[in-house]
Every structure is written in C-alpha cells, then in structure tokens.
Amino acid sequence: MNNKTTNLIETLGRRLKQIRINANLTQNQLADIIGKSRTAIARAEKGRCNLSTFVSILVALDADAQLDLLLSEPPPSPVLLAKAKGKQRKRASGVSKTATQSTNESDIKW
C-alpha cells in the first residue's frame, strides 16, 4: 500500500474513534450494539477492518449520513450538459423586410 492510502485509512480509523467517543460509548458498548467483539472495534479504529464492519459501526453511531457524498449520484459532465442544452443563438438575425411587408399588408382591410 502506498503512503497516501495508508494515511487515509488511518485517518478514517481516528475519525471513527472520535465519533464513538463523542457518542459517549466505550468500545465494549459499541461492540455489543453491532454484535462484534471489542477487538473488532479496536481494529476498526486503527483502520484495519472490512467495509461491512466499518459501515456497521457508522450506522450504530448514527454517522452514516456522512457517507451521502460517496453515495450520491455524480453530476453530469459539462460535455453532456452542453450537448443536452443544444446550440444557442449568439446573434439576432433581425426581421426580414419581406416578412414585415406581408404582415403590414395583411393588416389593411378593404
């Protein structure tokens, strides 16, 4: 594993621990809630757990809303937006004289 990956995993573990402490739960209490061992919680707080355990802990701590950014649909790319929008006019062409004359002639009633 490269340094960046290792640092990110360790940071996630530290944040998980801080969320647990802020919820005023011991590792044993949290382990009982999610049905895992205390060592599983300790490993998760060091960044050494599987994804299922990590998500279970987040749900138990009511911190799963923080995953919304990862789970939300990405916005469409600017290229797709431009294609969907279509071609926009950049200039006005004005009204042709023949169209104006025919409109004026139809307004006249004999």
Euclidean distance between CA atoms 72 and 13, whole angstroms: 23
Instruction: From 46, 97, 54, select the one nearest 105 (Cα to Cα).
Output: 97
What is the DSSP secondary-structure string of 21-60? HHTT--HHHHHHHHT--HHHHHHHHTT-S-HHHHHHHHHH
Residue ranges of the domains in the chain?
3-71
- The answer to whether the beta carbons of residues 47 and 64 sit under 8 Å apart is no
* Predicted confidence (pLDDT) per residue in 81-100, tens digit: 777 777 666 778 777 766 55
* Predicted confidence (pLDDT) per residue in 23-73, tens digit: 999 999 999 999 999 999 999 999 999 999 999 999 999 998 888 877 888
* Predicted confidence (pLDDT) per residue in 25-38, tens digit: 999 999 999 999 99
3-71: CATH, from 1.10.600.10, 3.40.640.10, 3.20.130.10, 1.10.260.40: 1.10.260.40
Would you give the end-to-end CA distance of the chain in angstroms? Answer: 90
Task: Please tell me the predicted confidence (pLDDT) of residue 107.
Answer: 60
